[in-house]
């Protein structure tokens, strides 16, 4: 059980097409680019519209 994106070992899944952006941010995190996620999310206006 989980939220929009679930990481279970080497399996990463999400709820569907509407979660594509948050899924991509989680992939970046898992691949070692977590330091860049905030900048990318801000540049794509994710935080402005989703994380209010």
Write the pLDDT tens digit of every residue in 24-37: 999 999 999 999 99
Q: Which domain holds residue 10?
A: 5-49
Strands (E) across 1-52 are located at 5-8, 11-14
Q: Are 5 and 26 in contact (CB under 8 A)?
A: yes
* Total domains in the fold of the chain: 1
Does this model's pTM top 0.85? My answer is: no
Question: Higher pLDDT residue, 3 or 12?
Answer: 12
């Amino acid at each position: 059980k989980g939220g929009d994106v679930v990481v279970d070992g080497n399996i990463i899944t999400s709820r569907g097409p509407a979660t594509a952006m948050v899924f991509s941010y989680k992939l970046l995190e898992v691949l070692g680019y977590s330091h860049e996620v905030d900048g990318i999310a801000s540049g794509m206006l994710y935080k402005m519209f989703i994380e209010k």
